[in-house]
Amino acid sequence: MDELKLEIKKLIMSTLAIDNVDPATVDDEKPLFGGGNALTLDSVDAIEIIMAIQRTYGIRINDQNLAREVIRSVNTIAAFITEQRNLQPS
């Protein structure tokens, strides 16, 4: 799970071309939006992250209400990816 969380932080940073933040300083639990975390994102960034998750993990987040919940923090993204992976037939 920790590996996945690091991967998510790196994905967010490469997607948004952020190179001045150390992934280790990004808090897993704190919200990614609205300040208070080392990464502070806005609604435009949100759609980029949704599409990056879709491309990288093959997981669709079509509904923006669900998307809002999923991309709230690194932990919620990781939990969603893990849950979706478990749902997929092996």
Partner 1 sequence: MTELDFKHKMAAHCESGTITSLLNFGGLDITEPLVFGISGGIFFGYFHKMKSFAFPTFIVRNKPGQMRVDIEKRLGVKFKTYAFKDPASGMTALDDLIDRKIPTACQVDFFYLDYVPSWERVHINVHFMVVVGRQGTRYLISDAYFPKMVELEATSLQKGRFAGGEMSPKGFLYHLDRIPPEIDMKKAVERGIRKACFNMLKIPIPFLGIRGMRMFSRKILEWPAIARDTEHLSHEIMKINILLEDQGTGGAGFRFIYATFLQQASEILNKSELRDLSAELMLIGDGWREISLFAARIGKNRDLGAEKLKQLSDMIRDRADVEENFFRKLSKTV
Name which position in 20, 43, 86, 90 contacts partner 1 (CB under 8 A): 43
Residue 69 within binding range of partner 1, rule CB under 8 A: yes
User: Least Å distance between CB 78 and partner 1?
Assistant: 19
Written as one string, the DSSP assignment of 10-73 is: HHHHHHTT--SS-GGGS-SSS-SBSSSSSS-B-HHHHHHHHHHHHHHH------HHHHHHHTTS
Is residue 64 a contact residue for partner 1 (CB under 8 A)?
Answer: yes
Rule CB under 8 A: is residue 34 a binding residue for partner 1?
Answer: yes
User: How many residues line the site for partner 1 (CB under 8 A)?
Assistant: 14
